Amino acid sequence: MDQNLRAAIQTSTFYYFLIATVLLTIAQLSTMMVIVLADISGKESVVAASVIGPCFAGVFAIFRMMTNMQYLVRDMDDGMRATTYGAGMTAIPFSVLKFVFALIFVVVAAVQLMAIF
């Protein structure tokens, strides 16, 4: 793969990750504000669904994008790995990070669900 193309794909995948994380965090914060400030009695199931939906979407997005980054880094040639950029990218533990970020979404959703019920 052309190294410039691969670097562009890596950069766009990282930005997609940031965008997905920000949007899903806003969705979860909005849901938390509804849980705390609104009267949800009788509507617990609807609010719970609005918690679980973004949680699943966030976990899927994180796993997909971090896996893409793993594949792109694994595809580097030796010349690219020798650069500062290549060394920095290969040092990132994507396989661990995807579980850490996914766990954050699950923990936030669990806290929100405990607040509902």
pLDDT of residue 3: 74
Of 113, 103, 117, nearest to 31 (Cα)?
A: 113
pLDDT at 84: 93
Residue extents of the structural domains in the chain: 3-116
pLDDT tens string 55-114: 888 899 889 888 988 988 888 888 888 999 889 989 999 999 999 988 988 998 898 888
pLDDT at 42 over 90: no
- 1 pLDDT above the threshold of 80: no
pLDDT of residue 14: 85
pLDDT, tens digit, 9 for 90 and up, residues 18-36: 898 888 888 888 888 888 8
DSSP H stretches of helix in 1-117: 3-37, 44-74, 78-81, 84-91, 94-116
pTM, whole model, 2 decimals? 0.75
Residues 6+ apart with CB under 8 A from 6: 72, 75, 76, 80
Query: What distance in Å separates the CA atoms of residue 90 and residue 77, rounded to the nearest whole number?
Result: 11
Contact 10, 72 (CB under 8 A): yes
